[in-house]
A = this chain, B = another copy of it.
Amino acid sequence: MMVVTSGAVAFGKQRLRHELLLSRSMRQSLRPNEHPQGNLMPQLEPRACAAVGQGGLLSLYEAMFSQYGLTCAQVLVTTPDFKDPELRNNLRSTMDALIKMNCIPIINTNDAVAPPPGEDHDLKGLRRKPNSVISLKDNDSLAALLAVEMRTDVLVLLSDVDGIYTSPPGRSDSQLISKFHPSDLENIAFGGKSRVGMGGMESKVKSSIWALERGTSVVVANGVGSEYHALSKIMSGCKIGTFFSLAEKSGPSVEEQAMDARKAGRDLQALGPQERAEILYRLADLLEERTTEILDANALDLETATSSQNLTPPMLSRLSLTPNKINSLAAGIRQIAESSHENIGRILRRTKIAEDLELVQETVPIGVLMVIFESRPDALPQVAALGLSTGNGLLLKGGKEAYHSNRCLLKIVQESVARYAPRTAVQLVSTREAVSDLLKLEGIIDLVIPRGSNELVQQIQEKSKGIPVLGHAEGICHVFIDKGADPAMANRVVIDSKCDYPAACNAMETLLIHKDLVGTQAFQDILNNLRDHKVVVHPGSRLAKALPFGPMPATSLRKEYSALECTMEVVDDVDDAINHINKYGSSHTDTIVTEDDEAAQTFLKTVDSACVFHNCSTRFADGYRFGLGAEVGISTGRIHARGPVGVEGLLTTKWVLKGHGQTVADFAEGGNLHYLHESLPLTVEEVEDVIRDTQGEIRTDEDIEDSSYEKDKIGKDG
C-alpha cells in the first residue's frame, strides 16, 4: 500500500494566510478599505505554500494511521528520481524497505524545489502514441510512474466524479464507463479540469492507459462521493468507478443490452399485429415441440436444488416443470396472441382540430421493460409473451435456482422472435449486480416490474434511480364486518381472505369488527372459526380490553403477517372503519361485509384503495380473477396503473396529428382559421385504416384468418 497525496499547497495556503493576517499592521486591519486588496493578501507563492503545508499534511496522515498502529513514511520525489538509473534504484529500494516493514509511504512531488512545469509534450499525443513517455506533472502521472516502477497490483485514482464518462459528466448524454479498454478512447470527449486537484480527467485517462499497458490494473473512482469506503469496496471486487482493462469485452455490457433491447423493441413495434401474434404462436409451438429439451434443463436445476436442500417443498414445486405445465403454458401464450391484435395502435381519441387537421391518440409500447421474477421458470415465456405482444423490449432477470431452465426457455423465445425481429428483443440479465446497474439507466429503461416478495419490490423501489417501478410494496388488506353483516357470509369471507393463501399480498391482514358485534354469537363464531383454521389473532388495544382471554396484542396496527396470523380490532361504525383503513392500510384491497347498502356505498366510495369490495373475499384482487387476461402485476402506486394490471400497464400513448401545412399563426387573432375541436367517433373506416396502415404489405397466407380477426375487432370498437 502506497499513498500518493495532494493537499500540501492547499494546506500551506491556509496556514500562510493566517500568518499574513498576524503580520499585517494594526492600521491595515482597522481600515482595510484604504488599502488595495493586493497589499493585504499578496499572491501566495505555491512553492512556499507547499513547503509550509507538507509538514501538516504528513502529521495528519500520521495521526490517522497511528490509530490503527500503522507507521507512515514521507517520500518526496522529483522528475530525476524516475529518469536517472541510480536515483531510480535508490527510490525503489527505499520503497521496498518501507513496504517490507509494513510502513505506508506517503508520496508527493517535492514541490518546494521542483522546476516549473514544462510544456505539455506528451498530452497532445494522447490519441496517437499511447506508448510514448509520460512526464511527471501531476499526482496522476506520479502515481502511474510509481505503480509501474513498483509493479503494483492495482492503481486507484480517486477523483470527485464517479469515474470516466463518455462526455463531461452533467451533460445529458454522458454515461459512466464501467470498463475501459484503451480502444474506447475514441468514444469519449473530455471536458475541463476536475474541481479538486491538479489533473483533469484527460490526465487520469492518459496515466491510466500508460500504467495499464505496463501491467498494472487501474481503477478511477470517486473518493468523496456518496458511496463510502471506495477503497475497501474496490479491493473486495465491487464494481465501482471505471476499471481499466486490456481484456476484450466478453459480452455486451448491461448498458448495451438495454440499448439493444430498445432498438429491437422499435422493430417489434414496426411489425404488424399479425406478425407479433405469429411470434407468439411460434413460441407456443416451439414450447410443445421442445418439451424434452426444456424438461432436461429443468431436471438439472431440480437436481441442484434437491442436493443443496435450500428450497422448501412449495418452492421446489414452483421450480419444477411438467409436460402438463408446458402445455397449459403454450395454451396461455396462444390466448395472449389471440387477444394481442388491438394492443398497439388502438385509437383512444380522435379529434377534428380544424378542417383537414385531425388528431388521433393511439396506444404504443412503453419501450424497454425490466421484469424481475423469482424462481418460477414458467414466468419467463409468459412475461416474454406479454412484452412481445405489446411491442416492448424486455430485460428479464429470473431466480438463479432456475438457471438452466431459464436459459433453455430464453433460447426458445429468441428463436421465435428471430423470424421477424432481432433476438435481442428479449434478453436475460445474469446477475443481481447487473440489475442494480440497470436500475441506474434512467432514459434507457422505462419501467421496472418486480414480481415476487414484498422485500424484492421494496428493494427495487429503493434502488431505482428515476425509473418508475410498477409493483406493490405492502399488502395490508382489511375485512370490515359491519353490524348489518350476514354472519355466515362474514365467516366465509374472513376465512377465505385469510386462509386461501396467507402469503399472498391480497390476503387479509387486519379484521375490523363493528363494536355492536363484540360478544355476540356471530363474533364468537368468527373467533372459533379462525382458531379452527389455526389463525393466530392479535387484538388491537381496544379489542384487547374487551376480550376475556389474553392473546398477544398486536405490536402495530399496520402489519403484514403473510402467514396464518392477523390483527383484529373494534371500530365504532363504518366511518371509523374507513378512517382506520385509510390510516393504517396500504391502499391495496379492502372489503366490507354488510347487508346495509348505504354503509356499503359509503365504504366503496370513501376507502382510498386500489380495490374496494363489498361482500366478497379480498383474494379476488388479481388480474386473472378480474378477467384482465394475463397479469403483469398488482400496483399500489397511484399513477399509470392501479390494482391488478393487465397488458394496459405495458402500453402508453402517442399523439398523431395529420395536417395540410397548418401553422399555429393561422389560428392567432386575425388569422384565417379557427379551432373546431370536434370529437370524432372511432369509426369502422378509421379502424380499417389503422389495420391497413400498420400491416402494410406484409399480408401472406394468413389473410383469411386476418380478415375474420378484423371483423371481430371492428365489431368490438364500432
Can you give 6 A-B contacts (C-beta < 8 A)?
A60-B64, A447-B639, A493-B661, A615-B662, A616-B658, A617-B663
**A141 to B642 CA separation, bound complex (whole angstroms):** 50
Q: Knowing A609-B654, A654-B609 are in contact, say whether A366-B639 is a contact too (CB < 8 A).
A: yes
A613 at the interface (CB under 8 A from B): yes
CB distance from A18 to the nearest CB of B (A): 4
B-binding segment of A36-44, A243-251, A351-359:
A351-359
Query: Are B665 and A500 in contact, with the CB atoms below 8 A?
Result: yes
Is B558 a contact partner of A173 (Cβ separation < 8 A)? Answer: yes
Binding site for B on A (CB under 8 A): 11, 14-15, 18-19, 56, 59-60, 62-64, 66-69, 172-173, 226, 266, 269-270, 351, 353, 357, 359, 366-367, 446-447, 461, 466, 468, 474, 486, 488-489, 492-493, 495-496, 500, 558, 582, 593, 600-601, 604-606, 608-617, 619-621, 625-627, 637-640, 642-644, 652-665, 667, 675, 677, 679, 693-694, 696
Of the candidates B461, B601, B611, the one whose C-beta lies within 8 Å of that of A693 is B601
Q: A60-B63, A606-B266, A677-B627 are in contact. Are A657 and B14 (CB under 8 A)?
A: no
Q: Top 9 A-B pairs ranked by shortest CB distance?
A: A616-B659, A627-B677, A496-B663, A18-B69, A489-B661, A619-B664, A63-B63, A639-B640, A640-B640
B62 & A626 in contact (Cβ 8 Å cutoff): no
Q: How far is the CB of A493 from chain B (nearest CB, A)?
A: 6
In the assembled complex, which residues on chain B have CB atoms less than 8 Å from the CB atom of A627?
351, 353, 359, 675, 677, 679
CB distance from A545 to the nearest CB of B (A): 21
Name the CB-closest residue of B to A627: B677
Across the interface, do A468 and B266 meet the contact criterion of CB distance under 8 Å? no
| Residues of chain B with a CB closer than 8 A to A64's CB | 60, 63
Task: Knowing A626-B655, A655-B610, A657-B613, say if A664 contacts B60 (CB, 8 Å).
Answer: no
Residue on B nearest A663 in the bound complex, by CB: B496
| Minimum CB distance partner of A676 in chain B | B627
Q: Once bound together, how far apart are the Cα atoms of A11 and B64, in whole Å?
A: 10
A172-B558, A492-B661, A664-B625 known; A446-B500 Cβ under 8 A: no
Apart from A14-B68, A270-B606, what 5 extra A-B contacts exist at CB < 8 Å?
A: A14-B69, A351-B626, A601-B696, A610-B655, A611-B655
- Contact yes or no, A11 B67, CB < 8 A: yes
**Once the chains are docked, how many angstroms separate the CA of A404 from the CA of B358?**
43
Chain B residue nearest in CB terms to A560: B172
A357–B616 touching, CB < 8 Å = yes
For A621, what are the chain B residues with a Cβ–Cβ distance below 8 Å?
655
Complex Cα distance A357/B657, Å?
A: 42
Give the chain B neighbours of A620 by CB distance below 8 A. Answer: 353, 357, 657, 659, 662, 664
Contact status of A625 and B353, CB under 8 A, knowing A614-B659, A616-B662, A664-B500: yes
Cβ–Cβ < 8 Å partners of A359 in chain B: 626-627
| A696 and B598 alpha carbons, distance in the complex (Å) | 10
Q: How far is the CB of A715 from chain B (nearest CB, A)?
A: 12
Q: How far is the CA of A544 from the CA of B641 in the complex (A)?
A: 47
Q: Are A446 and B639 in contact (CB under 8 A)?
A: yes
**Nearest chain-B residue to A583 (Cβ)?**
B173
**Which chain B residue lies CB-closest to A622?**
B664
State how many angstroms separate the Cβ of A710 from the closest Cβ of chain B. 19
Contact between chains at B664 and A353 (CB < 8 Å): no
CA distance A492 to B496 in the complex (A): 67
- Decide: B665 and A496 in contact? CB cutoff 8 A: yes
Closest to A56 in B: B67
Taking the closest CB of chain B, its distance from the CB of A492, in whole angstroms, is 5
Q: Which of A359, A461, A489, A492 has the most chain B CB within a 10 Å cutoff?
A: A359
Cα A655 to Cα B226 in complex, Å, equals 42
A609 nearest in chain B by CB position: B654
